[in-house]
Structure 1
Amino acid sequence: MEADPAATGGAAPDRPDIRTSVALVGDGEDIARARRLAAGFLTRVQAEHGLPVSQRALDLTQLVVSELVTNARKYAPGPVLLDLQIIGDTVEVVVWDSDPVLPIARAADAGRVGQHGLEIVMAVVQSFEAQREPVGKRITARIALADDSGGAHSGRRL
């Protein structure tokens, strides 16, 4: 009987649990630190585990991490936890913060300055989930590691 990937933290039975995490404490360098962590993680995933990671996946992961950490820093007091994990052919980005209010994407408005981060994230990820926790909330987004074989960009089907 094969192990359920969900029961092993998302890793396939023949693949080690590939993940990294960091607590961000609000010192002004959080967003840059989170982006560097994401880039370094995916570079190691490719080099050490031989998994395909497209340049697009690397760029989108840094964008999603940046937007989610920015929102957490802006709206929630206290630390922010960032967790990156390989789940199948995706990178899962999880951001936890202490504010229990779930984010809501606003209607598109070309005249609005700012506050487009969640719209951008939802447009480029394969899946997105916002969930209340006993303390705060957890935002989970998954991004395809590689473009599909036909050269099309993998992403959320709208």
Structure 2
Amino acid sequence: MTPAHSPDAADAPAVSTVVEFRGGSAMIPASRDVVQGFVARLADAGVSTADTFLDAARLVASELVTNALRHAPGPCRLELTLVEGGVEIAVSDTGQDFPTFLPSDPLRVGRHGLEIVTRLCDEVITKPHTTGKTVSARLPLR
């Protein structure tokens, strides 16, 4: 496995992007486009990813943005950051309620987004802030 960056943090490629969305359903496909551009920048920086990484990252971002659209009033912010061994995909919104992680249920129709995100990512963390919350998911590069 090729590390995302060298042991010397000063030599690590700094790759990140932030996009503010005003709202509306167009931000869901737009989030997938942002991820596509970000992953291209990773490749340009020499960061190696699994063959499935792009699809997984697009899915995680669109699920988190969809949750922000459905459960929080106002705009949201998508931030993608290269971190040790992965990419942190963070969505900040104006909602005060934390996401509800439901147990796996193959008979349930819908509401599988966070279940999918938690299966793909190493960790999912929700942090409150003064104007809402940020849900961060760390997706491994390999």
TM norm. shorter chain > 0.5? yes
Instruction: State the Cα distance separating 1:13 from its structure 2 match.
Output: 2.2
CA distance in 2, matches of 1:69, 1:27: 10
Unaligned runs of 5+ in 2: 1-7
Deviation at 1:77, TM superposition (A): 0.7
Tell me, yes or no, if the aligned pair for 1:12 and 1:88 is still in contact at 8 Å.
Answer: no
Provide Cα deviations, 1:2-31, integer angstroms capped at 9, x if missing partner: xxxxxxxxx932224210010111243101
Q: Which residue of the other structure, out of 18, 32, 35, is the alignment partner of 1:35? A: 32
What does residue range 121-140 of structure 1 map to in structure 2 within 5 Å?
121-140=117-136
Q: 1:113-156 deviations in whole A, cap 9, x for unaligned?
A: 1001011100110111011111100001111112xxxxxxxxxx
The 1-side partners of 2:125 and 2:60 are apart by 13
Q: Please show how residues 56-135 of structure 1 align to structure 2 within 5 Å.
A: 56-135=52-131
Deviations 1:56-102 (A, max 9, x none): 11111101001000000011011010000101221110100000111
User: Do the aligned partners of 2:13 and 2:45 also contact (CA within 8 Å) in 1?
Assistant: no
Q: Which has the higher contact order (CA 8 A, sep 6+)?
A: 2
**1:17 equivalent in structure 2:** 14
Q: Secondary structure at the match of 1:13?
A: helix
Structure 1 residues not aligned, in runs of 5+: 1-10, 147-158
Aligned-residue CA RMSD in angstroms? 1.4
Structure 1's consecutive aligned runs of 4 or more residues displaced over 2 angstroms after TM superposition are none
Q: How many residues align?
A: 135
Mapped contact 2:53–2:141 kept (Cα < 8 A): yes
Q: Which has the larger radius of gyration?
A: 1
